[in-house]
Chain A
Amino acid sequence: MPKTLLDKIWERHQVGADGSLLYIDLHLVHEVTSPQAFDGLRMHGRTVRRPDRTLATADHNVPTDGTTTTARIRDELSRVQVQTLERNCAEFGIPLYSLGSPRQGIVHVIGPELGLTQPGMTIVCGDSHTATHGALGALAFGIGTSEVEHVLATQCLVQSKPKSMRIRYEGALGFGVTAKDLILATIGQIGVDGAVGHVVEYAGTAIESLSMEQRMTVCNMTIEGGGRAGMIAPDETTFEWIMSPPTRPAAPPAVPDEWHELRSDPDATFDREVVVDAAAVSPMVTWGTNPGMVVSVDGAVPAPSSEQDERALHYMGLEAGTPIEQLRLDRVFIGSCTNGRIGDLRAAASVARGRRVADGVYAMVVPGSAQVKAQAEAEGLDEIFRAAGFDWRGAGCSMCLGMNPDIAASGERVASTSNRNFEGRQGRGARSHLVSPQMAAAAAIAGHFVDIRSWDLDPQQEAAA
């Protein structure tokens, strides 16, 4: 019987006679969804079964202003939460990269970066964007705090197998169209509950030709379409990325044979199949209060078709029919587990190089990890951003969810490379528009959204011509 990538990983991780337990190969932990889980362990006198399959970092709460020690976090509740993580990890023997560590960063950036995320693994984390790791051919999904406690204690989860869904892309992405646009357009097509109950496998040449980091952007936003997990068949791009020395200390000595056998069999069937025309995707901008409310940058704010749409337009302070390119911005945020990797920063820097952020716009660039920050600085990207008037920050989740000092004020319009435009997500009353890093950088410079496809890439070349 032909099998999907999901089938193969699932079968290899079933524990016990009835197979109702799923073994977890890697458990990533952060400060927000873990304190109550550790309390639960203590209350019952339980231990962590496999500290060697567990890794923690501080990301959601950390300030990005250059603070490098937890004791100096000014917000008391944030400080206590990070300190609690540090104490819990010490007590239970869990490796931790906390604030100030050269390996600290957003949990979904550091897992792959360290080589911990590998094909065929099961990976969980108390965070809904865990699907990011599926880009490397792993089964990775978000869990709640009770399940965090469960995995800490047993290294397993009680799980019934989700349904499978394949999203197959036809055609190639056009000029100026990124992985972010591809996934935003997909969510626009299937809806924010389009993949509920399913593990999504993304396939097709448009996916195969993406870089490893771009694949992570796609899988990262699976949850915004309701999917339990998103995954991509591991191939040479995957293997090469993991094995690239010297940055991935957890990588195996050589590509294991079993990695080659993971991809879905050619005649495997899925519970659902969806086809997306990749060639038809344009640079996308969300207009509403969920990621499925999205249009092409050369489009206009749509007419409301439901009460939900009307509420969204009201919250966003928008009128139907307004061209997207006329929307003026107050803030720009480049970063997050969706678009905070080195490739994202390079892409944004290529747009910002030799230009200036528009008057009245505050634009920040937040590397996804301390390692991404160091790499960007080694390449001089920080200088490009600073010269253009961007604020160059320390690593963390930052404005993606505003659990730290990085938030937008009520009524401010934000171009954001993150994953959620929910009401109040980036600050109470803040109006978020999700875009790609290139589109965010261009919007910062123009002061309003612009179609990156009509953007001249280098003003210095322009001047020379």
Chain B
Amino acid sequence: MRAIETITGRVSVLDRDDIDTDQIIPKQFLKRVERTGFGEFLFYDWAREPGWELPKNPVLVAGRNFGCGSSREHAPWALEDYGFQAIIAPSFADIFRNNCTKIGLLPVQLSAEACRAIAEAGECQVDLAGQEVRWPGGAEAFAIDPDTKQRLLNGLDEIGLTLAQSDAIAAYEAAREQSGGWAGPQTTALA
């Protein structure tokens, strides 16, 4: 995963609330077993409606509850493959937000007013280290979990970080087994 510091440039605007991941990447493209190449299918059905325009910019500004519905990571993959590096919205669906941070696509939650102002300004700078978005005529701070921020700033592999805690995981497993309670079901033991 590539490290993120600042993301600067033009913004594309999709002023709709509750955009679900079925719209971002429709089901027929989920049959692929690869992780790349989803960008050309982004908003596949909407892109065929008259008047659709979504320039390939570094930043997408969208409506409330962006990315609701299905957990498909193909949605962030498609947005990233299309060229977006950050998504700015008044709110995000939980799984989508999580999925974005795993691949280095930065979800930025700002007030609805700031989102409108950025859409009007047409450009902005997202400063991850400073946790602030700046645009001509304004700026607003955003929140991000400190561990996620560090991981994104350094482009770290989260699985590698967790594997470094293998001893703690093994100790937890051993403690659970020795506690004497019901150990829970084992999928490999199903007759």
A-B contact pairs, 7 of them (CB 8 A): A15-B169, A36-B34, A36-B35, A196-B65, A196-B93, A249-B191, A425-B27
Contact of A116 among B17, B64, B187 (CB under 8 A): B187
Chain A 11-53, CB-CB to B under 8 Å as 1, else 0, gives 0000111001101011000001101100110001010010111
In the complex, the answer to whether A155 meets B31 with C-beta atoms within 8 Å is no
Which residues of chain A are within 8 angstroms of B102 by Cβ–Cβ distance? 144, 146-147
Which residues of chain A are within 8 angstroms of B92 by Cβ–Cβ distance? 196
Q: With A154-B159, A192-B65, A196-B93 as given contacts, are A15 and B172 in contact (CB-CB < 8 Å)? A: yes
CB-contacts of B166-191 with A (<8 A): 166, 168-169, 172-173, 181-182, 184-191
B121 at the interface (CB under 8 A from A): no
In the complex, the answer to whether A258 meets B182 with C-beta atoms within 8 Å is yes
A325 at the interface (CB under 8 A from B): no
Which residues of chain B are within 8 angstroms of A150 by Cβ–Cβ distance? 158-159, 162
In the complex, the answer to whether B168 meets A17 with C-beta atoms within 8 Å is yes
In the complex, the answer to whether A16 meets B165 with C-beta atoms within 8 Å is yes
In the complex, the answer to whether A156 meets B169 with C-beta atoms within 8 Å is yes
The stretch of A78-86, A211-219, A457-465 that contacts the partner chain? A78-86
Beyond A51-B187, A154-B162, 20 extra complex contacts between A and B, CB < 8 Å: A16-B172, A17-B168, A21-B168, A36-B35, A44-B159, A49-B169, A51-B188, A75-B31, A94-B187, A95-B190, A116-B187, A144-B72, A150-B162, A158-B161, A160-B145, A223-B95, A252-B182, A256-B181, A307-B16, A422-B23
> CB-nearest residue of chain B relative to A83?
B33
Q: With A228-B94, A256-B181 as given contacts, are A145 and B33 in contact (CB-CB < 8 Å)? A: no
Q: With A33-B72, A61-B31 as given contacts, are A423 and B22 in contact (CB-CB < 8 Å)? A: yes
In the complex, the answer to whether A153 meets B33 with C-beta atoms within 8 Å is no
Which residues of chain A are within 8 angstroms of B184 by Cβ–Cβ distance? 25-26, 53, 118, 121
CB-contacts of B101-151 with A (<8 A): 102-103, 145, 147
In the complex, the answer to whether A95 meets B187 with C-beta atoms within 8 Å is yes
In the complex, the answer to whether A77 meets B34 with C-beta atoms within 8 Å is no
**Distance A437 CA – B65 CA, assembled complex (angstroms):** 29
A424 at the interface (CB under 8 A from B): yes
In the complex, the answer to whether A226 meets B185 with C-beta atoms within 8 Å is no
Which residues of chain A are within 8 angstroms of B34 by Cβ–Cβ distance? 36
In the complex, the answer to whether B162 meets A156 with C-beta atoms within 8 Å is yes
**Distance A78 CA – B103 CA, assembled complex (angstroms):** 25
In the complex, the answer to whether B95 meets A128 with C-beta atoms within 8 Å is yes
**Distance A142 CA – B95 CA, assembled complex (angstroms):** 7
CB-contacts of A48-77 with B (<8 A): 49, 51-55, 60-61, 75, 77
**Distance A39 CA – B102 CA, assembled complex (angstroms):** 16
A373 at the interface (CB under 8 A from B): no
Pairs A-B, 7 closest by C-beta atoms: A146-B102, A144-B73, A144-B99, A256-B182, A250-B185, A77-B31, A35-B33
